[in-house]
Structure 1
């Protein structure tokens, strides 16, 4: 029996997928490769999904042909013909009658210089921090590499083999189903970025099911600039303001702040006002099966405008300004500002409902409304994190007894 996540999965609904986004320097399209497994009580299979532009392919394989390592990220499909790891991406697939695919692919890529997101503490691992310890979450998410350098060869169908190079990104998801509503985006290529500078961004906003039939709007955002990581997420008590989403034009915009209102990250997508931009339709786990319903945009028609600022209070208010922060004496020192290209973007489900959930949760949270709490967090945030972790660990221990 193959091992998934170091455990032998015997029964139940489960999926795990690894996501490789590859932007090739000499190739006009972004390529996405997603190997994974899906199982329910009556069916198990492994798969390799490949997408570019508005085209996607889904290749099925017997579950028994996979293998994985418990010591490192190393996953193979079809009796080790297809290999996926931090430093290797080898794919050799041709469509069969059971596949939803029409093209063949051969990739032999070497990945190097992976930019890993460091853990905050051992008790706050990965991208999800303390939520990684919560059992029975619907979906877990982890960024494996914010950026990786790619070299190798690629062949599609009977076309000539190409020598290629580019930039990549790697993440993984696992659990029993994707959320019902989410927004997800990623980019690590920028217009006019100096060769001596680097930047990468990942963001995910979703409606998260919780215990006792409750649900909450949660988010994970990581921005890297010159190897320094800025994290904005639910478990760190970050705050989102002014979330706006237009599912028709695929334009989104939001501002996110850390709990102390020391940093502000602005993200907006820009699509030239185009409606109904074509995207690749991907399979995703829903209920107990893989369904083709996830629209991912891999087009050059969409960009991300990103600005990271440090908030500074100069104690001089301006009551005539419409900006609430300026009214209260805050101004921004810009750390990074740029336009990302070759982005990936997903907007799925009733995102207007998600936007309303975020508005209800954060609309009245500003630094001038809770200065006492900010002071407490500033001096005792490590203690608060330890208390939170102890509560979570006690809950897990009680559930496991």
Structure 2
């Protein structure tokens, strides 16, 4: 489809805490493959160097600046209980978000520029986006730990061609419970900055602390063309709290969280 893009984001965390992500996408220019590591973002020339079949990912990337080879097998995927976009699923939007798995196990090994990364029931995450453009301004955050997974997005959203509003999507999933703060379920943004984001819904409050942003270049769509540069940091040291009636019910310190801060 002209002026349209579709992309999936696969995040992997090795046994020793090394994090990288593969971004597989299709846009006006055709297929595209990107890789983001703690030190650099890469644009991969050979889009067929990653083969994804069911829950098996075979990787054979070999170009001047990056070598990554191996096989990773994903365990049972854990999606959200309900659609990410809620009622906005049925409205014309410039970008639609989807979460395929908030967490799952990863097993296997890869060789990355001479470093062997082992995955033994390690953690992974999968999400996707489709549409015409990425939001002009947005914040995206992801944390995957044994305690739970958080994905948060705050963005400037155009609707019906003449209305702009600030949209909120935040999902917290633990082994036995799911929490949702969204525009469509009366979730509210209390404050947002490069250092701290606070949101609330009813008697629940979520507080995210971000000591540092930084990031590496990746490409994002504009009218279906991958011509915009954004920055992602895939190993930001963050901490967050989930509170109910001002009492902390979940607290996580994560040195391997991911962040795109494009406000």
| TM-score using structure 1 length | 0.61
Equivalent residues in 2 for 1:156-167, closer than 5 Å: 156-157=112-113, 159=114, 162-165=117-120, 166-167=122-123
Residues 4-153 of structure 1 correspond to what in structure 2 (within 5 A)? 9=1, 12-26=2-16, 29-39=18-28, 44-60=29-45, 78=48, 82-84=50-52, 87-95=55-63, 102-119=65-82, 126-135=83-92, 137-153=93-109
What is the distance in 2 between the residues matched to 1:24 and 1:341? 13
Partner of 1:67: none
**2:210 aligned residue:** 269
Q: In structure 1, how many angstroms separate the alpha carbons of the residues matched to 2:71 and 2:97? A: 26
Asked if 2 retains the 8 angstrom alpha-carbon contact of 1:54 and 1:281, the reply is no
Alpha-carbon deviation of 1:333? 3.0
Q: Would the aligned equivalents of 2:15 and 2:117 in 1 still touch at CA under 8 Å?
A: no
Tell me if structure 2 keeps the 8 A contact 1:139–1:179: yes
C-alpha distance in structure 1 between counterparts of 2:198 and 2:115, whole Å = 44
Matched with 1:306 is: 240
Q: Which residue of 1 aligns with 2:144?
A: 188
- Is the CA contact (8 Å cut-off) linking 1:189 and 1:200 kept in structure 2? yes
Offset, 1:254:
1.3
Tell me by how many angstroms 1:162 deviates: 4.9
* Aligned mates of 2:45, 2:183 — CA distance in 1: 36
Distance 1:156 1:305, change over 3 A: closer
* 1:245 alignment partner in structure 2: 193
Specify which structure has the higher proportion of strand: 2
Residue 131 of structure 2 aligns with which residue?
175
Structure 1 residues not aligned, in runs of 5+ = 1-8, 62-76, 96-100, 120-125, 191-197, 272-276, 312-331, 352-401
Which has the higher relative contact order, 1 or 2, with Cα contacts under 8 A spaced 6 or more apart?
2
Deviation (angstroms), 1:58: 1.3
> What's the CA shift string for 1:265-308, capped at 9, x where partnerless?
2222233xxxxx64221111123421251110123xx3332222
Query: Per-residue CA shift, 1:21-40, capped at 9, x if unaligned?
Result: 111112x531011111111x
Within-5 A mapping of 1:329-340: 332-340=246-254
Distance in 2 of aligned mates of 1:222 and 1:267 = 13
Output the CA distance in 1 between the equivalents of 2:205 and 2:115: 47
Q: 1:51 to 1:117 in 2, by over 3 A?
A: same
Query: 1:60 and 1:134 mapped to 2: Cα distance?
Result: 35
Aligned to 2:196, what secondary structure does the other structure show?
A: strand
* Runs of 5+ unmatched residues, structure 2: none
Larger Rg: 1
Shift of 1:214: 1.4
Task: After TM superposition, give the deviation of residue 225 of structure 1 in Å.
Answer: 2.7
- Rounded Cα–Cα distance in structure 1 between residues aligned with 2:53 and 2:207: 33
Which secondary structure state, in structure 2, belongs to the residue aligned with residue 147 of structure 1? Answer: strand
Q: CA RMSD in A?
A: 2.1
Alignment length (residue pairs): 262
Q: Does 1:222 align with 2:171?
A: yes
For 1:254, the equivalent position in structure 2 comes to: 198
TM-score (norm 2): 0.91
Separation (CA, whole Å) in 2 of partners of 1:185 and 1:142: 14
